[in-house]
Amino acid sequence: MTKEISKNIISIKSLSNKSTKGDKVLLETKRQKQKKLTRKHLIEVAIVQFGENGIIATRTADIATVANVSHGTVFAHFPTQEELLISVIEEFGNRISQRLHELINTNSSLFEVLEAHITGLIEFEPFYTRLIIERRLLPESVCNTYIMIQSTISFHISIAAEKEIEQGNIRKIPIHLIYNTWIGLIHYYITNGDLFSHNGSVLKQYRNELLEHYANIISK
């Protein structure tokens, strides 16, 4: 990292003889960029580590080791375990929202939205599994972020559901129950993944069965 910066200093200086405020600003932007990259890298590593070893069991020191940075670096970006955890969950929330935005639009059927939801979850399955298993033991700030994420997903589902209710395709059920029934089903399979799947993604294995079953029970 230092090599890159010094290379840049040399190339900047060679462009002009004056060492001006402009050079300093350029250097700061590169440093900011590096900081952003490191932060992103740490979050990526944390997602994997949390997924593999559990959230509570993972120390910031473990993340530093796997990310190949000093513990001080982790500390500089995330002064507490809690702040790291919040950042990770927010990243998860952003990515799954993005996924939904990419895969669905205002004309999507309920089935398509639910499909998109499972697709998004599969990408984070190990982490999400640990999150929902350990959630009651995690700080309140985590709970609040979690609530917002679930409401966002529920909202997407509700847009499609309300249309289908209007069209008479599915039963008239309150939005929160449409959501809680779906998430209840999904979470049961996830939290008991060891019973349903011996080798990894329980959502991948049961995806079609769950989608079809759910569609079946809420259809008129």
Partner 1 sequence: MKQCIACGMPMKSVEDFAMGDLEKEYCKYCCRPDGTMQSYEEKLNSLTNFIVKTQGIDEKTANSAAKSMMAKLPAWKTE
Judged by the rule CB under 8 A, the positions of this chain that interact with partner 1 are 97, 101, 141, 143-145, 147-148, 150-151, 154-155, 158, 174-177, 179-180
Cβ proximity to partner 1, 65 vs 180, nearer residue: 180
Other Cβ atoms within 10 Å of 201 Cβ, number? 16
Cβ proximity to partner 1, 71 vs 95, nearer residue: 95
Separation of alpha carbons 24 and 30, rounded Å:
10
Residues 6+ apart with CB under 8 A from 61: 71, 74
Least separation in angstroms between residue 135's CB and partner 1 is 13
Residues 6+ apart with CB under 8 A from 86: 141, 142, 145
Query: Are residues 164 and 170 in contact, defined by beta-carbon separation less than 8 angstroms?
Result: yes
Least separation in angstroms between residue 110's CB and partner 1 is 15
Least separation in angstroms between residue 112's CB and partner 1 is 18
Least separation in angstroms between residue 66's CB and partner 1 is 28
Cβ proximity to partner 1, 6 vs 151, nearer residue: 151
